[in-house]
């Protein structure tokens, strides 16, 4: 301060007047002429800047007892993504970012009306509501576009869990092991696998084995059928508190269909339920739990040529209603059933070994057909029909032979064919044994492709329209052929796969064996 003593006295007097004005001492009188925020209307004497009755941003200051004309503070940091303002208390400029980081992941989202990353958007967080998504983040398999490159779970592929080799499920001392089915209960029970294996010469039994969800110790194998005669199977499904399993079994001279329910530890809950009792073979059971009943379909030659039959069973395994014949154009085999409480879809193969077709139909309650039967492929040599429910759609898979190639098609919610027959395996390869895991809007295809050492397992992510969506992953690499039999979600989004492989035998050759592999999702580059 550089006030003179006289000036200070005057200023003090004026200040008192001014203070009196603020305190109402001058009510009824003329107010002192003060500086307004709009500019100068007059001059007042002052002692400090505050006496000039202006905030610091207007640049009014008291100099030698006189309020000088304002010199407003101009705040502009030349950043279009900030709102600049002067602090009235200090006169300092403050820049406030226009784009907010609501999810506090360190990257702001765009300002209103702009898209992430576009000019003037001031923010490139593609999802400012999720701290798991921001540019530069590592892509994970979590249904989120973690790295904000516009693709959810891009390059996602299912690969063997790190450090986990395929687990041998079948007893190495047994011959002719063949995978049947796999279901996941919960994290405490893990998986149940079903496979057939030759316990003694001429006595192939259906065996179930509990498998740890996380690679821990597996349970002991438990034979399901206690009778003589081969048994093969079986699809396994989880209901929420128990498993259902079906198989074909020739304990009575020709193959019949049997069913039972299993406790979470894999032990039978009661006697086997004989589902068929008919002349000739009943084979290839396929099983779905729709939330209230088991739906079981199989191929049956009781009337001279194979036809498809269906039967419902209760949660307790009681047969419900009558057997239902599911009509086909003739010679229907290899049924595969998929669905949920909202309905079912059945795929099968008709014809003989040289001239065949793949047909798909939707079924409602009681196996009542809904809509027409669709011929997905016709007049060729086909095998391995398979169908899976993917969201509101059904995805059908099959193999066309000579050479073996995997095809797929998508049936829409209305029953219309949304994606016609599309080749899914790489051209020029021998590819067989397709199954799939539905992800809702996408799916994971698992199939086997021939190499110099035999068929190896591959996984390929696909979009809902059956377009490759990410990198293929090779799952096995071993002498002999590997073919997947079943695949299901396990704990925490990982995937269990039961597959047939080969095992060195005592004679230096190879024997068939059943393996389990746990896959995890890996995404990004």
Partner 1 sequence: MTTARDGDRAESGRAAAQERWTRSAWATAICLAASGLLAAWGCGGAVVEDTPVPGVDGGADARADARADAKQPSPADAAPDGAKPDAGKDALPEYVDPGCADVPPPIEQFECDPYAAVNPCGEGEGCYPFVDTPTSPCTPETYGALCHSAGEGGQGDPCTDGCQGGHVCVITGQGTQCVQLCDLSSPNPCPDGLVCGAVDVPGIGGCI
Q: Of residues 292-331, which lie at the interface with partner 1 (CB under 8 A)?
A: 299, 301, 304, 317, 319, 323, 331
CB of 470 to partner 1, least distance (A): 24
Residue 152 in contact with residue 442, Cβ under 8 Å?
A: no
Say which DSSP state 187 is in: T
Return d(Cα 22, Cα 7) in angstroms, integer: 22
Residue 353 in contact with partner 1, rule: CB under 8 A: yes
Burial pattern 148-178, b for ≥16 Cβ within 10 A else e, equals beeebbbbbbbebeeeeebeebbbeebbebb
Structure tokens at 133: 């998504």
Report CA Rg, the chain. Answer: 38
- Site for partner 1 (CB under 8 A): which residue of 137, 212, 312, 334? 334
Return d(Cα 80, Cα 96) in angstroms, integer: 11
Quick one: 222 or 510, whose CB is closer to partner 1?
Answer: 510
- Site for partner 1 (CB under 8 A): which residue of 158, 336, 367, 394? 336
Contacts with 522 (C-beta within 8 Å, 6 or more apart), sequence order = 141, 156, 157, 158, 159
CB of 279 to partner 1, least distance (A): 4
Footprint (CB under 8 A) of partner 1, residues 118-147: none
CB of 416 to partner 1, least distance (A): 25
Span near partner 1 by CB under 8 A; candidates 14-22, 136-144, 150-158, 449-457: 449-457
Report the 10 Å Cβ neighbour count for 458: 22
Quick one: 352 or 392, whose CB is closer to partner 1?
Answer: 352
- Site for partner 1 (CB under 8 A): which residue of 97, 132, 167, 381? 381
Footprint (CB under 8 A) of partner 1, residues 502-521: 502, 505, 507, 509-512
CB of 197 to partner 1, least distance (A): 10
Return d(Cα 141, Cα 153) in angstroms, integer: 5
Helix or strand or coil: residue 321?
strand
- Site for partner 1 (CB under 8 A): which residue of 101, 164, 383, 472? 383
Quick one: 60 or 346, whose CB is closer to partner 1?
Answer: 346
Residue whose token pair is 């002991």: 220
- Site for partner 1 (CB under 8 A): which residue of 117, 415, 426, 454? 454
Footprint (CB under 8 A) of partner 1, residues 167-226: 176, 178-180, 196, 198, 200-204, 225-226
Return d(Cα 238, Cα 261) in angstroms, integer: 10
CB of 215 to partner 1, least distance (A): 21
Residue 152 in contact with residue 456, Cβ under 8 Å?
A: no
Cα→Cα distances 108→103, 129, 232, 292, 308, Å: 8, 10, 59, 48, 59
Cα→Cα distances 245→241, 256, 260, 269, Å: 14, 14, 6, 11
Footprint (CB under 8 A) of partner 1, residues 241-270: 247-248, 250-255, 258, 270
Residue 289 in contact with partner 1, rule: CB under 8 A: no
Quick one: 353 or 414, whose CB is closer to partner 1?
Answer: 353
CB of 349 to partner 1, least distance (A): 7
CB of 524 to partner 1, least distance (A): 31
CB of 409 to partner 1, least distance (A): 16
Footprint (CB under 8 A) of partner 1, residues 417-436: 430, 432-435
CB of 108 to partner 1, least distance (A): 50
Return d(Cα 459, Cα 482) in angstroms, integer: 13
Quick one: 60 or 275, whose CB is closer to partner 1?
Answer: 275
At 339, which helix (H) or strand (E)? strand 333-340
Give Dmax over CA atoms of the chain in angstroms.
128
Span near partner 1 by CB under 8 A; candidates 108-116, 134-142, 379-387, 465-473: 379-387
Structure tokens at 161: 């869990």
Span near partner 1 by CB under 8 A; candidates 86-94, 102-110, 150-158, 450-458: 450-458
Binding mask 216-235 for partner 1 (x = CB under 8 A): ---------xxxxxx-xxx-
Structure tokens at 335: 């049924």
Quick one: 136 or 509, whose CB is closer to partner 1?
Answer: 509
Residue 279 in contact with partner 1, rule: CB under 8 A: yes
| Phi, psi of 13, deg, nearest 5 | -60, -45
Binding mask 462-501 for partner 1 (x = CB under 8 A): -----------------xxx-xxx------------xxx-
Taking the CA atoms of residue 21, residue 26, residue 30 and residue 33 in that order, the dihedral angle to the nearest 10 degrees is -20
CB of 385 to partner 1, least distance (A): 7
| Phi, psi of 20, deg, nearest 5 | -65, -35
Contacts with 385 (C-beta within 8 Å, 6 or more apart), sequence order = 334, 335, 336, 347, 348, 349, 358, 396, 397, 398
């Amino acid at each position: 301060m550089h006030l003179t003593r006289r000036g200070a006295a005057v200023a003090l007097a004026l200040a008192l007047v001014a203070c009196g004005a603020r305190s109402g001492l001058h009510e009824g009188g003329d107010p002192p002429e003060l500086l307004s925020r709009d500019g100068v209307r007059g001059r007042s004497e002052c002692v400090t800047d505050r006496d000039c009755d202006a905030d610091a941003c207007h640049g009014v200051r008291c100099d030698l007892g006189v309020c000088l004309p304002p010199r407003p503070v101009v705040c502009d940091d030349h950043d279009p993504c900030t709102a600049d303002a002067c602090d009235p208390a200090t006169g300092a400029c403050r820049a406030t970012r226009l784009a907010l980081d609501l999810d506090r992941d360190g990257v702001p989202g765009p300002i209103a009306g702009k898209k992430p990353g576009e000019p003037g958007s001031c923010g490139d967080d593609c999802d400012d509501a999720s701290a798991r998504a921001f540019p530069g983040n590592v892509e994970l398999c979590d249904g989120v576009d973690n790295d904000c490159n516009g693709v959810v779970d891009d390059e996602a592929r299912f690969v063997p869990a790190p450090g986990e080799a395929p687990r041998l499920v079948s007893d190495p001392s047994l011959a002719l092991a063949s995978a049947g089915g796999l279901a996941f209960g919960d994290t405490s029970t893990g998986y149940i696998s079903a496979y057939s294996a030759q316990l003694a010469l001429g006595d192939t039994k259906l065996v179930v084995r509990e498998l740890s969800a996380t690679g821990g110790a597996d349970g002991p194998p438990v034979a399901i059928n206690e009778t003589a005669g081969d048994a093969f199977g079986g699809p396994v499904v989880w209901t929420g508190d128990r498993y259902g399993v079906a198989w074909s079994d020739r304990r009575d001279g020709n193959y019949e269909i049997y069913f039972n329910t299993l406790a979470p530890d894999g032990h039978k809950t009661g006697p086997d339920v004989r589902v068929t009792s008919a002349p000739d073979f009943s084979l290839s059971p396929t099983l779905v739990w729709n939330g209230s009943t088991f739906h079981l379909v199989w191929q049956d030659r009781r009337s001279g040529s194979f036809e498809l039959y269906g039967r419902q069973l209760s949660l307790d395994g009681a047969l419900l209603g009558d057997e239902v014949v599911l009509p086909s154009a003739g010679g229907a085999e290899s049924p595969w059933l998929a669905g949920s409480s909202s309905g079912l879809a059945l795929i099968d193969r008709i014809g003989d070994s040289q001239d065949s077709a793949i047909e798909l139909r939707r079924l409602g309650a009681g196996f009542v057909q809904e809509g027409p039967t669709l011929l997905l492929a016709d007049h060729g040599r086909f095998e391995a029909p398979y169908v899976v429910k993917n969201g509101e759609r059904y995805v059908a898979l099959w193999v066309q032979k000579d050479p073996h190639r995997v095809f797929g098609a998508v049936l829409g919610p209305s029953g219309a064919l949304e994606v016609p027959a599309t080749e899914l395996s790489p051209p020029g390869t021998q590819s067989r044994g397709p199954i799939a895991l539905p992800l809702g809007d996408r799916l994971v295809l698992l199939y086997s492709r021939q190499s110099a050492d035999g068929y190896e397992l591959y996984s390929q992510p696909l979009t809902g329209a059956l377009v490759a969506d990410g990198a293929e992953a090779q799952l096995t690499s071993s002498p002999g052929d590997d073919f997947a039999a079943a695949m299901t979600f396990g704990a925490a989004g990982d995937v269990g796969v039961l597959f047939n492989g080969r095992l060195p035998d005592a004679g230096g050759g190879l024997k068939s064996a059943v393996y389990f592999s746990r896959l995890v999702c890996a995404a990004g580059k």
